[in-house]
Structure 1
Amino acid sequence: MTSFLVKCAGKDNNEYLKQQVQVKNPYLETMEEDILYHFSLGTKTHNLPEMFGDIKFVCVGGSANRMKAFAQFIHQELKMTGNPEEIRDICEGTDRYCMYKVGPVLSVSHGMGVPSISIMLHELIKLLHHAHCRDVVLFRLGTSGGIGLAPGTVVVTEKAVDHSFRPQFEQVVLGKVVTRSTELDEGVAAELLQCSSELQNIPTVIGNTMCTHDFYEGQGRLDGALCSFSPEEKQEYLRKAYEAGVRNIEMESTVFAAMCRVCCLKAAVVCVTLLNRFEGDQISSPHDVLVEYQQRPQVLVSHFIKKRLGQI
């Protein structure tokens, strides 16, 4: 398959990578000031090129605590100067998201679900554009429910799919449904898979990821406050998902993939599975085991970043 970057930019990848991060809104350039409200940043109140112009990698995840921990982890991995415990939250003026900068790496929380990550991505992509960033790779790091995989397996997403296993995201704009493709960059996925082969104890597969709009009914769980289907119907749906190439389920991947694709950004979704949904609905692994699982996407992406920076 031809890389989507070629399709997006209409030119070869090397030429594309010389360009800054793109936005797809002609009205931004006419604005006197662009206020990134949910980041508590703005084009007049902050020097965004000076603050963020050297960013090459952006890692986003749902939990504020987890993204702070990742920032401290990558600080140590890149052997940065200073105390990682003293990294400052750039978005401390708001309680909506957190943001930490460690050299060329930006670590940002996005909350839970499509609406929350969508808001964050609009402002993040604008921030990268205003800062004149170039050749940026975005990663979504997260947890998920596996389908036919052992707990602890890392899934690098090939396509983010909806409830009907279609690689698309439907956005309602002015009352009309706009459908966007959710294929992710093959080159980055292959590079991540290669990185996993160089690490120990991080089993990794490439597969499709199903994105749902909730944690319980939308994911076929039997343990929510509401349940209108039988265990047999649940298993049949999961079986169909597996046959469609789905290997895990989470709640943000389709809009992440769609928005990055529209803006011609290389991106990857890297989520660890906390359980095999064929075997149950509730996460029952011990806390220390879950903590180690949750670190696996961070370790894998850190290895990718260090290789790109020539530190391995």
Structure 2
Amino acid sequence: MAPILVDNSKSSTAERETYVDNGFVHIKNPHLDMLSEDILYHFDLGTKTHDLPSMFGDVKFVCVGGSPNRMRSFALFIHNELGLDGDGNNIVDICAGTDRYSMYKVGPVLSISHGMGIPSISIMLHELIKLLHHAKCRDVTLIRIGTSGGIGIEPGTVVITDIAVDAFFRPQFEQIILDKVVVRNTQLHQELAKDLLECSREISSFPTIIGHTMCTYDFYEGQGRLDGALCSFSKEEKFEYLRKAYAAGVRNIEMESSVFAAMCHLCGLKAAVVCVTLLNRLEGDQICHSHGVLTEFQSRPQQLIATYIKKQLGVCT
């Protein structure tokens, strides 16, 4: 059995004080100092080929989500909400040279797709955190905007995550590094979660709550679905598991929050996860709402994040 290492360190006391004092994004890899150039391969960017401080140095908010189309839509939406010049037609995909991710910059806001699942968002986060570091960004807030399956709550409810938990409802992320299992903390920024909930009170058109989010490694069996190509459990076992999850404080399920929380926590980044629920898993496994209803649901986290960003920037509504 591989040894288990608990990696709860965020940084040394001195590093934490430095982060608080100057707000720069710090990384935890001494080997990067030995590189003559850092190539951010999946972004099609690099420290020698691009002037990263000039391109990204003013970024204060990074919003990430699974779908490239959804993140382009968010970029256009936040452009309008911030009242920036132009109609948004000049917003281009900075990562157009690669087919892995899409990235759009709108004033101080960066909108990036991360694909689906832990491996995809993990790769994106490694390069994003390095990008913010190389660009000398300060006081950056990261927010994952997504969709999820709800547990015991109405479809369309927006869940602000306080802690990301695994399939055993533990607030941790396990990763195999070399021949060791490394366990990392998945607590998100609590004050940010409270601030987002406060912003939701200005939007009365949909319910918003704070709760635990369960992160799984797949969409079907790992989430207790009965409608996949494979299923090794009964209907009764499924509902027993979901009821246990609800009792443990879990209010929604998705596939990215644990590694997102763990990496942001280790790098001292202020981060939040805000997902809308597309169904109540205690009532079924398949998403049955019309395209129009789902589109409106998916706009809800965007509305909440836009409200928060505008308040932080002092933009009048």
State the TM bucket, normalised to the shorter chain.
Answer: over 0.9
Quote the residue 2:5 is aligned against.
Answer: none
Paired with 2:255 and 2:19, the residues of 1 have a C-alpha distance of 34
Paired with 1:106 and 1:8, the residues of 2 have a C-alpha distance of 29
Matched, 1:166 2:170: yes
Match of residue 253, structure 2, among 249, 252, 258: 249
Match of residue 110, structure 1, among 105, 111, 114: 114
* TM-aligned CA deviation for residue 287 of structure 1: 1.0
Matched, 1:186 2:187: no
Match of residue 38, structure 1, among 42, 50, 60: 42
CA shift digits 1:94-149 (9 cap, x unpaired): 01000000000000000000000000000000000000001000000000000000
* TM-aligned CA deviation for residue 15 of structure 1: 6.5
Quote the residue 2:90 is aligned against.
Answer: 86
Paired with 1:117 and 1:6, the residues of 2 have a C-alpha distance of 20
User: What are the equivalent positions in structure 2 for 1:145-156 lying under 5 Å apart?
Assistant: 145-156=149-160
* TM-aligned CA deviation for residue 86 of structure 1: 3.0
* TM-aligned CA deviation for residue 10 of structure 1: 5.7
* TM-aligned CA deviation for residue 17 of structure 1: 5.4
Quote the residue 1:140 is aligned against.
Answer: 144
Distance 1:274 1:41, change over 3 A: same
DSSP-derived class of the 1:86 partner? coil
Quote the residue 2:127 is aligned against.
Answer: 123
Counting aligned pairs with the same residue, the percent is 68
Quote the residue 2:3 is aligned against.
Answer: none
Paired with 2:294 and 2:152, the residues of 1 have a C-alpha distance of 18
Letter in 1 for 2:53: P
**Structure 2: tracts of 5 or more residues without a match:** 1-7
Paired with 1:22 and 1:59, the residues of 2 have a C-alpha distance of 19
Matched, 1:74 2:78: yes
**Count of matched residue positions in the alignment of Structure 1 and Structure 2:** 309
Letter in 2 for 1:115: P
Quote the residue 2:4 is aligned against.
Answer: none
Distance 1:23 1:298, change over 3 A: same
Distance 1:267 1:285, change over 3 A: same
Letter in 2 for 1:28: L
CA shift digits 1:151-198 (9 cap, x unpaired): 000000010000000000011111111100000000100000000011
DSSP-derived class of the 1:238 partner? helix
Paired with 1:297 and 1:133, the residues of 2 have a C-alpha distance of 25
* TM-aligned CA deviation for residue 19 of structure 1: 2.8
DSSP-derived class of the 1:135 partner? coil
Paired with 2:89 and 2:157, the residues of 1 have a C-alpha distance of 29
* TM-aligned CA deviation for residue 228 of structure 1: 1.1
* TM-aligned CA deviation for residue 83 of structure 1: 2.4
Match of residue 20, structure 2, among 12, 16, 28: 16
Paired with 1:299 and 1:8, the residues of 2 have a C-alpha distance of 37
The TM-score, its normalising length taken from structure 2, stands at: 0.94
* TM-aligned CA deviation for residue 18 of structure 1: 2.1
Distance 1:123 1:69, change over 3 A: same
DSSP-derived class of the 2:301 partner? helix
- Residue 159 of structure 1 contacts residue 184 of structure 1 at CA under 8 Å; is this kept in 2? yes
User: What are the equivalent positions in structure 2 for 1:278-289 lying under 5 Å apart?
Assistant: 278-289=282-293
User: What are the equivalent positions in structure 2 for 1:217-232 lying under 5 Å apart?
Assistant: 217-232=221-236
